[in-house]
A and B are shown apart, each in its own frame.
Chain A
C-alpha cells in the first residue's frame, strides 16, 4: 500500500510548486540529466510506505553524501546517446554494403548528418560505458556494506556481457572504421538495445542519488531514520522550514501518550510555518530524502493530510465554514478507515464565529484524541478551547509560540514553549490603533 496524500496537502506544503516558483521540489531538483529529473519527480510524487525501503534509499543517498561522489558522466554524452537510441527506425541502420564512393563524398563535404548522429551516439555510448566501468571500480569496495550494493551487482552482471566488455576495453575509439561503426550500430541500437537502456536507467538513478546527496551536503540536512510503524512515534529535533531564511529549529516528540499537538500563539508568531515544517519533514522522510532538521526518527505513516490554506468554494455557494466541515469530514473518513495518519489542521473553523469555532474545535479535537495510532497537529486562536481540552484529554501536548511585547511592538521568538499562550493582543491592537478615542473625538454627536 502506498503513502497517501492529496492535492490540498501538496499545495499547503508547497511541495511541488509551479514552474518558476519556489518549492520544496526545487530545492532537490538539481539533476544533470532529463531522465534523472523524471525519476526525481516520480520519487517526489510517490512516497514510500515501508520502513525497509525508506531506510535503504536513505542509506544509499547517505553513502553518496559521505563519499561526496560526483556525477561521472558528461551530459553531452548522455544527450547524444539518448538522441541516437531514440532513432528506432530500422531503415536508418548503417550497413557495410553502403560503403561506397558517394557516401565517402558526402561525408567529406559534411553533408551526411544522419551518419554523424549515429557516429556521435556510438562514441558517446562507448564513453559512457567506460566511465561507468571506472565508476563501479572506484565505489565497489566502499559500497559493499550499503544497500547500493544490490544495484551495483545488477549493473555489473549486465556489463559483463561479452558484447559490452569489448567496448569497455576499446582503446582507440576515435579511429573506428566505417565497417566497424556499422557493426556497432547494429549491436548497440538493435541487438542489445534493452541492455543499453538499462545502463541509462542506472545512470539516471545514479544522477538522482548524486544530486540529492549534494543537497544534503549544501544545506546540512540530516537523514531521518524510519522506525516500525507500530511504534507510532515521531521525534523531531531542531526541525525547521527549508524555504524560510534563517528559520529557527524546534523540537517536538509525538507518541501515543501525547499524539495531539495543540498549538496556540499570535497570528504572526509562526504557527503555520512551524506546522508546515513538520509536514514537509515528514513527507520528505517518507521519500528517504534528507530533511531540514538536526535529527529525526519516525514511525512510517500511511498518509499525511494537511489543511492550512483551505480555499473558499464560493461558486458552489458554500460558506468557508462549510468548506472546513467538508474537509474535516474527508479526513475523518480516512481516519475511520483505520489508517495511521499524520494530520495537520491550521486554525480549525476560522470561517465562523468564535462561539461555533470554540465548540467545533473542542468536539473535533476530543474525537481526534481517541485515535492514538494517528498524530495530529491542531492550531487555533481560540485559547479557551485549550483550557477545556486540557481537563478532558490526557494525551494532548499543549505548546505555543510566544510573543514578547517590546513596549508596544510585538517580538516573536519562533521557539516553541509548553502550555497555552496567554497572549491576548486583540485589545492591545485596538488600543494601539486608538480606535475608541477616534470614535469619541467627534464633536456633534447628536442633531441639535
Chain B
C-alpha cells in the first residue's frame, strides 16, 4: 500500500498541481518530455512506502545531481519519436513494402509529399537514436544507483538487429529499399524495445530535472529508515517556496512523539508546520527536501488540518468541520496506521472554554499512540501547562517574537518552552482602530 495523504492535506501543503501557483509540483516541473511529465505526476500521486525503494530512488537522483548532465532532447524531437512509434502499425514486411511503395508511386504520379515526409522522419529518428547512443556512452562505467537502468539501455542498443543504426550516422535521405527495411524494423520488429527505450528516456528526463532542481535549491536527500523505528530527525528544515526561509531542527521519536507549538500569529507556526509536512511528503517520494539533513522512518500516511474549509452549504459550522476532520484522523489512527499528523490551531469556531477542553482532551488522547507523530499548535497556553504535568512524551517549543519598540520582529527560530505571545490586540492597536472609533464621540444622554 502506498503512502497516503488526502486532499485536505495536499491542499494545506499546496503539493499537487503544476498549474497552481507556488505548488510543490510546480517547483519540480522542469521536465522536457510529456512522458516525463506523466511520470512526475504519478510520483506525486503515489509516494513510496518502502524504505528500500525510497532510498533507491533518492540515490539515483543524488547520482544525477553529482553528474550535472543535461537532457539531450528537446520536447519537439522527443515528440517526433513518440508520434512515429504510436502511429502506423506494420504487421508484416509485405505490408510495409506496400505502404512505402504506394507512397513512392504517388510521389512520382501526383507529386504527393508523404513519401518525402516518411523518409525525413525515419532519418530524423535514426539521428536521434544515434545521438542518444552517444549520450548514453558518455556515462562513466562505474558502480552507481543508475547502473542497472543504464545497462538495460545499452543492452537495447547492443541488439544485433539494431547494429545498422551506427552505420547510418548523419544520414539525410534513404534509398527506397533501405527505407522499407528500416521503417519495418523500427515499427514492427523493434517496436517494443523502442517503446521501452522511450520509457527509459522519460524516466531519465525526470531524474535529470528533479536532481537539477534539488541541486540548484541546495536541497538534501532524506535517508529512509525501516518503519519499525518511529523516528524523524531533520536539521535545517525550511519551506521550499518561501524566500530566504530560516532553517529549524526537529527531532521526533517514540518517546517524544508530540511537538506542542506556540507562538504569535505571524511568528511562522503555520509555515514551520507546512515545511515539515512538505519535507515528509517529498522524502517519501525519494525527492530532495528543503533541509540540511534528514532521516526518517517510513510512515503509512500524513494528515494535516491547517486551513479547514467551512462547509456552510451543507450547514456545517467551522467548528463542526474541524470536529469531523479530527474524527477522520482518529479513525485512521484507530485503524493501526502509523501516521504523521499536523493540527494547526484547532477549534477556532467555538468559545474559549470549549476550545480549551477539546484541545486538551484530543491532544492527550492522540499522544498515547506512540507510533504516530504529532505536531500541534495552539494559542491556549493553559493546555500546554496541563499537558506538561500529565505527559512525558511532549516537546514544548515556540517561535519567539522580539519587540522592537511597538513593532514585533520574528526570528522564525524554534525555541524550547511555551510562549504566551499574542499580537491580535497589537495589530488592532497599530491600526489605530480604537482611537478612530473614540475620536469625536458625541455625548448624548
Contacts and interface: CB of A to CB of B under 8 A. Distances in A.
B442 A338 contact: yes
Given A336-B440, A354-B380, A442 B336 contact: yes
A328 B433 contact: yes
B353 interface: yes
A433 B365 contact: no
B369 interface: yes
Contacts of B326: 430, 435
Contact of A336 (B362, B379, B437): B437
Contacts of B232: none
B317 interface: yes
Interface string B329-341: 0110111100000
A357 B350 CA distance: 11
Contact of A445 (B361, B369, B378): B369
Contact of A359 (B315, B336, B425): B425
Given A267-B319, A332-B437, A336-B436, A363 B354 contact: no
Interface in A365-383: 367-368, 370-373, 381-383
A426 B370 contact: no
Interface string A64-101: 00000000000000000000000000000000000000
B427 A322 contact: yes
B161 interface: no
A411 to B, nearest CB: 15
B352 A363 contact: no
A320 to B, nearest CB: 10
Interface stretch (A37-45, A199-207, A345-353): A345-353
B362 A383 contact: no
A353 B351 contact: no
A441 interface: yes
B159 interface: no
A108 interface: no
A349 B427 CA distance: 12
A435 B433 contact: no
A427 B357 contact: yes
Given A371-B437, A372-B444, A430-B323, 6 more contacts: A321-B265, A335-B436, A352-B348, A355-B352, A363-B428, A427-B358
A333 B323 contact: no
B357 A426 contact: yes
A117 interface: no
B79 interface: no
B230 interface: yes
B335 to A, nearest CB: 8
B424 A357 contact: yes
A383 B351 CA distance: 6
Query: Closest 8 interchain pairs by CB?
Result: A356-B424, A426-B354, A267-B317, A353-B379, A332-B436, A446-B370, A438-B330, A439-B365
B331 A438 contact: yes
A327 B351 CA distance: 22
Interface in B305-328: 315, 317-320, 323-324, 326-327
Nearest to A438: B330
B350 A354 contact: yes
A337 B440 contact: yes
Contact of B230 (A322, A337, A447): A447
Given A352-B424, A447-B228, A426 B351 contact: yes
B334 A438 contact: yes
B438 interface: yes
A430 B229 CA distance: 32
Nearest to A382: B351
A319 interface: yes
B265 A371 contact: no
A204 B444 CA distance: 43
Contacts of B121: none
Contacts of A337: 440
Q: Which of B318, B324, B427 has the most CB of A within 10 A?
A: B427
Contacts of A329: 431-433, 436
